[in-house]
């Protein structure tokens, strides 16, 4: 019997607090090489997909070939962009998730390049005024205020031009890797978590990458191009498969680090993992 809710997460580390809080609360079974954990009352199943878009797509496909949950809760840790004022351990609900590598690159045709702050600024903390880049900033400040910008930092155009075909039939946004998450689920989860979590919860666009952003400069490029709240390595892949199987999905993540910050001493994985467990428990209790 399938659970009414499928929790999909990339790694066991991200679900560590959830496992710790339920030491005897679920059982595991293997199905076509996939381990599925289930609650005794069959309210939920949990699948650990493995990191990255290919593992996420494969795991979710295997599960949905056999089972049909009411909805998918895709969760885990993520890197946060500073533009939205989140703190480590805060949570965000995806409105859209974009796989940034989808599209047609035409940067050599004379098209305008992404503008980013001086690389020297990126050596400072991301709260420097020149790093505050987001079209979604509530204060409306000029995202490129500060030192003189330069052009073409990475030699490519972002976002890419659309593909000439839909990746999901009838969803033209997928030509640029953009997946719209179930709006009703997103609103319901946001409202519920805002009332129940002991941290800030916001909604906004996410981005999915296959190469983890490792510099403030590239983080600024992504921020200007996509105005994202968070960066992960699986969200868009899960959204793609969910769309193909027509199963509603909500993506909720907790911030473990700042995008571009590779100093793990500045991360807070422990706090993020606790928030992930809180997210799951609250949503499973209400089942929206």
Q: Which pLDDT score is estimated for 145? A: 39
User: With b meaning 16 or more CB within 10 Å and e meaning fewer, what string describes 114-131?
Assistant: bbbbeeebbeeebebebb
Q: Which pLDDT score is estimated for 157? A: 77
For residue 38, the cross-strand partners are 27, 45
Task: Classify the C-alpha dihedral 235-251-270-14 as positive or negative.
Answer: negative
Q: Is pLDDT of 154 > 80?
A: no
Q: Is pLDDT of 168 > 50?
A: yes
Mean pLDDT of the chain: 85
Count, residues in the chain: 288
- Reported as a single tens digit per residue, the pLDDT across 256-273 is 999 998 888 899 999 999
- Reported as a single tens digit per residue, the pLDDT across 219-230 is 999 999 999 999
pLDDT band (50, 70, 90) for residue 151: very low
Query: Which two three-digit tokens encode residue 279?
Result: 């997210």
pLDDT band (50, 70, 90) for residue 152: very low
Angstrom distance (rounded) from CA 112 to CA 47: 43
Angstrom distance (rounded) from CA 123 to CA 128: 10
108 contact partners, CB below 8 Å, separation of at least 6: none
Q: Which pLDDT score is estimated for 3? A: 64
Say if CB 133 and CB 217 are below 8 A apart: no
Q: Phi first, then psi: what are they for 176, rounded to 5°?
A: -115, 20
Q: Which pLDDT score is estimated for 42? A: 82
**% of the chain residues with pLDDT over 70:** 81
- Reported as a single tens digit per residue, the pLDDT across 170-197 is 999 999 999 999 999 999 999 999 999 9
Q: Which pLDDT score is estimated for 261? A: 83
Q: Is pLDDT of 31 > 80?
A: no
> How far from each other are the two terminal CA atoms of the chain, in whole angstroms?
21
Q: Phi first, then psi: what are they for 254, rounded to 5°?
A: -110, 140
Q: Which pLDDT score is estimated for 33? A: 78
Q: Which pLDDT score is estimated for 288? A: 54
What is the three-class DSSP state of 158?
A: coil
85 contact partners, CB below 8 Å, separation of at least 6: 200
- Reported as a single tens digit per residue, the pLDDT across 121-134 is 444 444 544 344 33
Let me know if 52 is exposed, middle or buried by CB neighbors in 10 A (0-12, 13-18, 19+).
Answer: middle
- Reported as a single tens digit per residue, the pLDDT across 271-286 is 999 999 999 999 999 8
- Domains, the chain, ordered by start: 5-286 (3.40.50.1580)
Angstrom distance (rounded) from CA 49 to CA 240: 15
Q: Classify strands 115-116 and 201-208 as parallel, antiparallel or unpaired.
A: unpaired
Angstrom distance (rounded) from CA 166 to CA 158: 19
pTM over 0.85: no
Q: Is pLDDT of 27 > 50?
A: yes
Tokens 């719209």 found at: 180
For residue 254, the cross-strand partners are 77, 91
């Amino acid at each position: 019997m399938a659970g009414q809710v499928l929790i999909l997460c990339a790694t066991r580390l991200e679900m560590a607090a959830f496992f710790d809080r339920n030491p005897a609360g679920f059982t595991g079974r293997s199905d076509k090489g996939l381990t599925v954990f289930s609650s005794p009352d069959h309210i939920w199943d949990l699948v650990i997909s493995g990191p990255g878009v290919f593992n996420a797509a494969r795991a979710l496909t295997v599960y949905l070939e056999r089972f049909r949950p009411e909805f998918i809760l895709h969760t885990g840790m993520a890197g946060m962009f500073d533009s939205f004022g989140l703190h480590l351990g805060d949570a965000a609900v995806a409105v859209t998730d974009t796989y940034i590598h989808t599209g047609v690159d035409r940067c050599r045709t004379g098209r305008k390049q992404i503008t980013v702050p001086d690389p020297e600024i990126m050596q400072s903390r991301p709260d420097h005024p020149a790093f505050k880049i987001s079209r979604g900033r509530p204060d409306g400040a000029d995202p490129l205020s500060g030192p003189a910008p330069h052009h073409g930092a990475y030699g490519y155009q972002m976002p890419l031009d659309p593909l000439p075909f839909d990746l999901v039939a009838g969803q033209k946004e997928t030509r640029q890797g953009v997946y719209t998450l179930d709006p009703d689920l997103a609103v319901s989860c946001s409202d519920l978590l805002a009332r129940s979590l002991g941290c800030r919860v916001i909604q906004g666009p996410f981005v999915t990458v296959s190469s983890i952003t490792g510099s403030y400069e590239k983080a600024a490029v992504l921020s200007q191009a996509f105005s994202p709240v968070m960066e992960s390595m699986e969200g868009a892949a899960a959204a793609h498969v969910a769309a193909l199987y027509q199963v509603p999905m909500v993506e909720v993540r907790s911030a473990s680090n700042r995008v571009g910050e590779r100093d793990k001493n500045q991360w807070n994985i422990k706090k993020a993992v606790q928030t992930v467990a809180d997210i799951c428990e609250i949503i499973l209790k209400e089942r929206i």
